[in-house]
Amino acid sequence: MAMSKRKRAQVIRWVQYGILVLAVLALVVFADWGKLRHNFFNLEVAGSMFPDVITVALVNTVIYTAMGFGFGLVLAVVLALMRLSQVRAYRWISGFYIEFFRGLPALLVILAVGTGVPIAFGVLIDKYTAIMIALGLVGGAYMAETLRAGIQAVPRGQVEAARSLGMSPGRTTVTIVIPQAFKIILPPLTNELILLTKDSSLALFLGASIAEYELTQFGRVALNSSQSLTPVLIAGFCYLIITIPLSYLSRYLERRTGGAKISTPESTEVKA
Amino acid sequence: MSGEDLNTDTAADLAVEVTGLHKSFGPVEVLRGIDLEVNRGEVVCVIGPSGSGKSTLLRCVNVLEEPTSGTVVVDGVELTDPDVDIDAARTKIGMVFQSFNLFAHLNVLNNLTIAQRKVLKRTQAQAEATGLANLERVGLAGRERAMPSELSGGQQQRVAIARALSMDPDVMLFDEPTSALDPELVGDVLTVMRRLADEGMTMLVVTHEMQFAREVADKVLFMDAGVVVEQGPPEQVIGDPREERTRTFLRRVLNPTHVDQTD
């Protein structure tokens, strides 16, 4: 007997639900809950991590990320403007920089900066500076490409209007183009901030005093001393405290900037 | 060339003087030798089919497009001179675009004041006073806090006119200012432009509004294929054109449903 198309779609959907439920059940049944609880949900170990996991580790993660993001943003503005410059050499340098740092693992850059800069310049840099430079170098390369796209998305007429009012090319870029470009790229920029938050974990490879621990290093040290995986869970949870609100912010900004174009008074006033 | 009553003006009264203007985009020659004079206080309308080079001509007058050859002199300053301070010269030339081009990230008041403050170095108070006065002049007093996206096309275009006027220009250029507007919004913009003309503003207007050209212009230029085909007072160029190309164009514009046999 032939099934109708709608009937068949219904059956297929129920089969999918069934497989999903079976998979979850299998995980629940076969997992060793006793060991899991002992390893991941050890309240004693968890308790010993507070309040330092927040007051030191989470705060340091935020500081490292913010510093790297700030430096990267400045770098990105310079790189994006160079990429769009009339001067061929600037375009070439910027293009090479972007390809170079986008192609390298952030870990290598962090190690190179942390150990290379002191050797190259004979100066000792503290861990905060090293991380800021390394994360900025990598983040800047990504953000430069985003910003370049944002600048190119600003309508040509905006530049023409500014120039016809007597603004110089530089002033037009600073007062008219860049602010609008940032408005356009705010959602992808928030995304970049989330990626940098996670990349800040690579700081652990530079070694540090306890006061300089960020979340991953803090969790790792606690893991070694407690013989329990609970610190991993706690550290992960702390990352989510930072990144999930950022995702929501990104989505909110996307809605707002995307919606602004459609909701002109004319289109909202017209109702049947 | 122009009507007899216009020939009496001396060179000192010239606001805009374009001589032998050529403009090519790659292999395409858009302007093929244009001569144009606009006297102080005069309204000159440029008409012609799309692709005839009208907008390019206007954009060459404030050098938004770099002329390939020929000279453009505005207020006695030769803008085609490579040593000229083009930014300073442009503050004296107001430009109104087909697509308004209000700064999308600034509210109306800041649109009006930003160039006054950054370019003319006026104080915030001076700039606001000038901006608000011009906003009232275009009939939009009270809308200074609105964002451009909250305004209708006609309102945006009037703000754009007020923005240009706030620089106290000697000449105003209008590039098809009503072409992007819904028909019912065209009238408000034309009213503002008509009032400006009555106040003695020097205006160079690229337009498809034949009624406006006929009533407001002192001189009308008909352009086709990169040359000025015919120019003179509107009653002659629009009312009684001498050239066949002008007649064909006007027939199509004034009677859009008519199908030309030569097509």
Prediction ipTM score: 0.90
The shortest C-alpha distance from A166 to chain B (Å) reads 4
Q: What is the pLDDT, as a whole number, of residue A179?
A: 93
B contacts of A162 (beta carbons < 8 Å): 103, 115
Contact by Cβ (8 Å): A64, A132:
yes
- Of B90, B104, B160, Cβ closest to residue A166: B90
Does the pLDDT of residue B8 top 70, yes or no?
no
Q: What is the pLDDT, as a whole number, of residue A271?
A: 31
HEC letters along chain A = CCCCHHHHHHHHHHHHHHHHHHHHHHHHHHCCHHHHHHHHCCHHHHHHHCCHHHHHHHHHHHHHHHHHHHHHHHHHHHHHHHHCCCCHHHHHHHHHHHHHHHHCCHHHHHHHHHHHHHHHHCCCCCHHHHHHHHHHHHHHHHHHHHHHHHHHHCCHHHHHHHHHCCCCHHHHHHHHHHHHHHHHHHHHHHHHHHHHHHHHHHHHHHCCCHHHCCHHHHHHHHHHHHCCCHHHHHHHHHHHHHHHHHHHHHHHHHHHHHHHHHCCHHHHHCCC
- For A64-113, the pLDDT digits (tens) are 999 999 999 999 999 999 999 999 999 999 999 999 999 999 899 988 98
Does the pLDDT of residue A267 top 60, yes or no?
no
Give the residue from chain B lying closest to A154, CA to CA.
B104
Does the pLDDT of residue A221 top 90, yes or no?
no
Contacts of B99 (CB under 8 A, 6+ apart): A157, B180
The CATH fold of domain B39-57+81-92+170-256: Rossmann fold (3.40.50)
Token output for A145: 């490409």
Contacts of B212 (CB under 8 A, 6+ apart): B45, B190, B193, B194, B205
Using alpha carbons, select from B50, B46, B8 the residue that is nearest to residue B219: B46
CA pair distance B127, B120, nearest whole angstrom: 9
Q: Say whether B163 and A175 touch across the interface (CB within 8 A).
A: no
Peptide bond into A51 cis (omega under 30): yes
B contacts of A164 (beta carbons < 8 Å): 62, 64, 90, 93-95
Does the pLDDT of residue B260 top 70, yes or no?
no
Does the pLDDT of residue B250 top 70, yes or no?
yes
Q: Say whether B97 and A160 touch across the interface (CB within 8 A).
A: yes
- For B187-234, the pLDDT digits (tens) are 999 999 999 999 999 999 999 999 999 999 999 999 999 999 999 999
Give the residue from chain B lying closest to A169, CA to CA.
B87
| Chains A, B: CB pairs < 8 Å | 67
CA pair distance A62, A209, nearest whole angstrom: 17
- Identify the residue among A165, A182, A267, A269 best suited for mutation to test binding to B, counting B beta carbons within 10 A and taking the highest: A165
Q: What is the pLDDT, as a whole number, of residue B27?
A: 93
Q: What is the pLDDT, as a whole number, of residue A76?
A: 96
Residue spans per domain, chain A: 45-268
| R_g of chain B computed on alpha carbons | 18
Distances in Å between the alpha carbon of A81 and those of A74, A95, A249, B29, B160? 11, 11, 27, 32, 28
Q: What is the pLDDT, as a whole number, of residue A265?
A: 36
Q: What is the pLDDT, as a whole number, of residue A263?
A: 33
Q: Say whether A160 and B119 touch across the interface (CB within 8 A).
A: no
Q: From chain B, which residues contact A within 8 Å (Cβ)? A: 62, 64, 87-88, 90-91, 93-95, 97, 99, 101-105, 114-115, 118-120, 149-152, 160, 163-164, 167
Residue spans per domain, chain B: 39-57+81-92+170-256, 102-169
Using alpha carbons, select from A215, A148, A234, A160 the residue that is nearest to residue A185: A148
More confident residue, B56 or A120: B56
Q: What is the pLDDT, as a whole number, of residue A56?
A: 84
The shortest C-alpha distance from B152 to chain A (Å) reads 7
The mean pLDDT value for B169-193 works out to 95
Token output for B77: 């300053």
HEC letters along chain B = CCCHHHCCCCHHHEEEEEEEEEEEECCEEEEEEEEEEEECCCEEEEECCCCCCHHHHHHHHCCCCCCCEEEEEECCEECCCCCCCHHHHHCCEEEECCCCCCCCCCCHHHHHHHHHHHCCCCCHHHHHHHHHHHHHHCCCCCCCCCCHHHCCHHHHHHHHHHHHHCCCCCEEEEECCCCCCCHHHHHHHHHHHHHHHHCCCEEEEECCCHHHHHHHCCEEEEEECCEEEEEECHHHHCCCCCCHHHHHHHHHHHCCCCCCCCC
The mean pLDDT value for A206-231 works out to 82
Is A271 exposed, middle or buried, given 0-12, 13-18 or 19+ CB atoms closer than 10 A? exposed
- Portion of chain B with pLDDT greater than 90, in percent: 89
Contact by Cβ (8 Å): B62, A160:
no
The CATH fold of domain A45-268: MetI-like fold (1.10.3720)
User: Mean pLDDT of all residues in chain A?
Assistant: 86
CA pair distance A197, B85, nearest whole angstrom: 48
